[in-house]
Structure 1
Amino acid sequence: MIAAIILAGGRASRLGGADKAAIDVDGRPLIDAAYAAVSGASPVIAVGPPSIARSGVIVVQEDPPFGGPVAGVATAITALADTDSPAETWLLACDLPRAELIVAQLRDVPIPEDADGVILTDQTGREQWLAGRYRLSSLRSALDALPEVAGVSMRRLLAVMSIHTIADRVGATLDLDTWDDVEQYRDQEDPV
C-alpha cells in the first residue's frame, strides 16, 4: 500500500484568490482529479481548507497557514505519523487535472535502491516535484534537516535527496495556475 499527500493550500494569488481546488474542470472540482488518481492509496492526507474534505480523506491545514508547499508536506508527514503509514507516498498538487495520467506513468516504476523518489519531468525537461512518489523516510529526513519549513521551496527540501526522473510523454504534468491556464485547458478539452 502507498499513502498519498495532496497539497491544496495556498492563497492562489495567480487566480485572484479563488479556491483553486474547487474550480470546475472536466465537470468536477479540480481536487477530485487528484483524489481519483490516488483512489487506491491509504491513507490519503490532503492539506488545505475544510472544503476539500471527502470520504476517506484526512484533511489538515499547513502549519503555519499559507506557509507554502514544504509546510504542507511537513504537516502531512506529521499526520501520517498518527497512522499505520506505508513506506512510500504519492505527492501531488491539487492543480493537476491529468493527475490520473501522472500516477499511471509512475505506478509501475520502482524507486531505485539508490534514490529517494521518482517524479515526472514536463515536456521542457523541468522537474515536477509535486508529480511523483517518495520514500516517506527520505521526506522525513529532509524535513528534519531544515531549520524551518515556512516559506521553504520544494527545490530546497529535495536538494538533499536523490530523485529519479521519468519524462512525461503525455502532458500529464500540465498544471492550472492562472485563469488563462484554466480557460485554455477547458477549450482544448471541450469537444469541437
Structure 2
Amino acid sequence: MTFAGIVLAGGAARRMSGVDKPELVVRGSSLLARALAALAGARPLVVVGPARPGYPGVVWTREPVPGTGPVAALAAGLGTVGDAPVTVLLAGDLPGIRESTVERLRAGLTGDVDGAVLLDAAGERQWLAGAWRTAALRGALPEAPENRSLRRTFGGLRIAEVVAEQGEAEDIDTPEDWARYR
C-alpha cells in the first residue's frame, strides 16, 4: 500500500540551546537523514521545518506560524500528502528509527484501527513515531491546530500499540542524550 511520510523537523530545541537537532550526526548520518531513510518508499516525503540542503526528493513545508507546535506542523504536512491513504509521522530526532520500524508500524494498521504508534520501554505511546490512516488524521485535527497537544488530538482515535525494539523510541532532547550516540 502506498504511503506518505512526514518528518517534523522544526522545533526550537530549547534544551539543546537552539541547535538544529535534525542536523546532529549519529553514526555518520544526520538525524534527519536517518528519519528519511526509515521512510524509504514514502511518496510524497515531506519535511515540516526550515529547508536544508542535501536532501533531494523532499517536499519542504512550514506551518503558517513556525514554532506553534507539532499539531500545527502536522496540519502543514498533511496539506502536502495528497490522497495517500496512509501517512507515517516521525520526529526528526530519533536516532534509532529504521525502515523496519516503519514497516512494523504500517503493519499495525489492521481492522478498524486509525493509527499505530510505538510503545517505548516505559509503556508510553510515542506520538511522533506512528503510522496513520490519513483520513483519520485529517478528521482529528482541530480547526485551530496551533499550540495543541498530539496526545489530546489523537486521543479519540483507535490506536494500536507496536512495542519498540531496542533504541527505536529513543529521542535526543538534551546534550546528554546526544552524548550517548556520539
The TM-score by the shorter chain falls in which range?
Answer: over 0.9
The residue correspondences of 1:21-170 to structure 2 (distance < 5 A) are: 21-51=22-52, 54-81=55-82, 85-100=83-98, 101-107=100-106, 109-143=107-141, 146-170=142-166
Note the residue ranges of structure 2 that are not aligned, 5 or more in a row: none
Gap change, CA 1:169 and 1:27, over 3 Å in 2? closer
Note the residue ranges of structure 1 that are not aligned, 5 or more in a row: 187-192
Task: State how far apart, in whole Å, the 2-side matches of 1:39 and 1:149 are.
Answer: 28
Q: In structure 2, what is the equivalent of residue 190 of structure 1? A: none
Query: RMSD of aligned C-alpha atoms?
Result: 1.4
Contact 1:71–1:151 (CA under 8 A) maintained in structure 2: yes
- Cα distance, 1:121 vs. partner? 0.3
Flag as ranges the 4+ runs of structure 1 deviating above 6 A. none
Task: State how far apart, in whole Å, the 2-side matches of 1:177 and 1:2 are.
Answer: 28
Contact 2:108–2:162 (CA under 8 A) maintained in structure 1: no
What is the number of residues matched between the two proteins?
180
Percent of paired sites with the same residue: 38
Give TM-score, length-normalised by structure 1: 0.89
Which one has the largest radius of gyration?
A: 1
- Cα distance, 1:52 vs. partner? 6.0
Give the letter aligned to residue 29 of structure 2: R
Candidates 171, 175, 180, aligned match of 1:179: 175
Q: In structure 2, what is the equivalent of residue 5 of structure 1? A: 6
**Whose helix proportion is higher, 1 or 2?**
1
Task: State how far apart, in whole Å, the 1-side matches of 2:175 and 2:103 are.
Answer: 27
Task: State how far apart, in whole Å, the 1-side matches of 2:105 and 2:32 are.
Answer: 20
Question: What is the SS of the residue equivalent to 1:46?
Answer: strand
Give TM-score, length-normalised by structure 2: 0.93
Moved more, 162-171 or 5-14: 162-171
